[in-house]
Amino acid sequence: MSKDDVYIGAIDQGTSSSRFIIYDKSAKPIGIHHVEFTQFYPQAGWVEHDPMEILESVRVCITKAVDKATADGFNVDKGLKAIGITNQRETTLVWSKSTGAPLHNAIVWMDARTASVCRRLEKELSGGRTHFVESCGLPISTYFSALKLLWLMENVDAVKEAIKKKDALFGTIDTWLIWNLTGGVKGGLHVTDVSNASRTMLMNLKTLNWDESTLKELEIPPEILPKIISNSEPIGNVTTGWPIAGIPIAGCLGDQHAAMLGQACRKGEAKSTYGTGAFILLNTGEEVVQSKHGLLSTIAFKLGPNAPANYALEGSVAIAGAAVQWIRDSLSLISNANEIEDMALGVESNGGVYFVPAFNGLFAPWWREDARGVLIGITRYTGKGHIARAVLESICFQVKDVIDSMCKDSEFSDSKKEEFLLRVDGGATVNNLMMQTQADLLATPVIRPSDIETTALGAAYAAGLAVGVWKEEYFFDSKERLKNANIFRPQMTEEMRKKKADSWLKAVNKSFDLADLSL
């Protein structure tokens, strides 16, 4: 084995697919495999995943990626030093400590079944919807794990019984993966990291521990919760039976935090990841900034047990790439997601058509669970291309709403907004029309790196940092990845930008208070 045979792996477990990527010492991918898995929709607004199918998808991805890299001549068996994990956040499950079996399907982050639980808590608690904001930075919302856990505790007999028998373990997908990878029922480690824990509503943002008063108010037994660790530290070794047995797990971050690290966002820098949803984070440094404009306060990352925590303002968009999937799978306007760009380019504009993809309500900065999707401005002139444009623009408008709020909450006031630039990543960013539209609507540059899989890259960085493969200076100071970056600069006139923004806001307002029409 040569000194260059040093590799770091990353499990990227997302909302619609899992992947495993192996990186060399220069952070270049040398092996990758991804697998899509089943989405379950038991009722309107409900979204579930099978935890066992997720586990198997990860196993297949690891096996295939290692096989591909090995076939290409890379000595992965001897050179793989560690793996990192990044995952869809807030998705919640409870399983049996004694059997390892899930006690219910995982409830996905975008699932809206807990609306009644939210309304009940808002009435019962003194601060209403913002009751827990001071401790955890999050409003009461269907989005977060604690509400999904409460629903499981109140509605699933198997969960009630397991908690009673002290046989229940709660976790987000990172916890589920680590527990199984490190032994499962035979000594698996029950841990989560600060970034995933910060999305449960149960962690105190300042102490980085489970908040005792919150657990007491919600009547959640602390013994079912995992231990909270940093994003970059040796966690445990992969157990026998896995293709990478014996390899240390040394990094763990929620997907948006991993992308932030992969984009090397320092204080004052922001990124937007475009996947099933869109997630925009602005690093606010070592202080918690409370938003006054509908954003969330959260962890950015904590790169080691003794490292300081970096915090962030976040705006989450529930439906981004999922809107493209909808016109593909439900409307059959396209047969492949990539076709939407050509269809949209077939017309010069949206033809006055605006689409608000509030399938399960709207997240930041609106936080309207009563919102539902609307398509307005339709005339006899409207064709498929106009709808395709409206769908792509809807993603960009939602990101713009978040960025506008971010600028108001941070040092980037309207007068300094031209200094703001947005780093973008995720599969949907291959769409050049959408990226140009984003730059036009924001009136700021949009930078797309040559490697758009920054989520997996961030997990790899965290793991490599923990085992000494890289130092922080390497990924924060290196400009190598930006050499071949695409920069999209705004071309739209201010008059047109304002006109389109006003029309979008009218459409958003028409989406409110439509939840009763969804049945």
Torsion sign across C-alpha atoms 514, 340, 262, 448: negative
Task: Choose the final residue of a domain: 209, 230, 256.
Answer: 256
Quick check: is 481 in a domain? no
- How many whole angstroms separate alpha carbon 45 and alpha carbon 64? 34
Whether 168 and 19 map to the same domain: the answer is yes
H, E, C per residue of 408-423: HHCCCCHHHHHHCCEE
Give tens-digit pLDDT for 226-262: 999 999 999 999 999 999 999 999 999 999 999 999 8
pLDDT at 3: 46
pLDDT at 203: 96
Give tens-digit pLDDT for 77-135: 899 999 999 999 999 999 999 999 999 999 999 898 998 999 999 999 988 888 999 89
Quick check: is 297 in a domain? no
Beta strands in 136-214 (DSSP E): 168-172, 191-193
pLDDT at 412: 53
The domain that holds 339 is classified in CATH as: 3.30.420.40
For the chain, which residues score pLDDT lower than 50?
Answer: 1-3, 413-415, 518-519
pLDDT at 488: 95
Task: Choose the final residue of a domain: 225, 256, 287.
Answer: 256
Angle between helix 321-329 and 384-409 (nearest 10)? 160
Among 17, 169, 44, CA closest to 111: 44
The count of other CB atoms within 10 Å of the CB of residue 116 is 10
Can you give the pTM of this predicted structure? 0.85
Quick check: is 293 in a domain? no
Quick check: is 302 in a domain? no
The count of other CB atoms within 10 Å of the CB of residue 493 is 10
CB 93 within 8 A of CB 48: no
Whether 160 and 28 map to the same domain: the answer is yes
Whether 249 and 398 map to the same domain: the answer is no
pLDDT at 411: 63
Quick check: is 468 in a domain? no
What's 89's DSSP letter?
Answer: S
pLDDT at 413: 47
Quick check: is 83 in a domain? yes
Whether 84 and 225 map to the same domain: the answer is yes
CB 231 within 8 A of CB 302: yes
Q: Into how many domains does the chain fold?
A: 2
Quick check: is 461 in a domain? no
Whether 494 and 418 map to the same domain: the answer is yes
pLDDT at 337: 87
CB 262 within 8 A of CB 461: yes
Task: Choose the final residue of a domain: 256, 273, 299.
Answer: 256
Whether 213 and 109 map to the same domain: the answer is yes
Q: How many helices (H) and strands (E) does the chain have?
A: 17, 21
Range of the domain at 13: 7-256
Inter-CA distances, 510 with 168, 352, 354, 381, 504, Å: 43, 15, 11, 22, 10
Whether 357 and 437 map to the same domain: the answer is yes
Whether 66 and 202 map to the same domain: the answer is yes
Quick check: is 14 in a domain? yes
CB-hemisphere CA count at 13 Å for 191?
Answer: 23
Whether 361 and 506 map to the same domain: the answer is yes
Pairing status of strand 80-87 against strand 248-254: parallel
DSSP string, 421-476: -EEEESGGGG-HHHHHHHHHHHTS-EEE-S---HHHHHHHHHHHHHTTS--HHHHH
Whether 233 and 375 map to the same domain: the answer is no
- How many whole angstroms separate alpha carbon 58 and alpha carbon 107? 18
CB 76 within 8 A of CB 22: yes
If 0-12 CB within 10 Å is exposed, 13-18 middle and 19+ buried, where does residue 509 land? middle
Whether 231 and 332 map to the same domain: the answer is no
- How many whole angstroms separate alpha carbon 84 and alpha carbon 493? 44
Whether 172 and 71 map to the same domain: the answer is yes
Torsion sign across C-alpha atoms 170, 60, 256, 342: negative
Tokens of 72: 């290409």
- How many whole angstroms separate alpha carbon 393 and alpha carbon 431? 12
Q: Give me the residues paired with residue 92 across strands.
A: 107, 172
- How many whole angstroms separate alpha carbon 362 and alpha carbon 119? 16
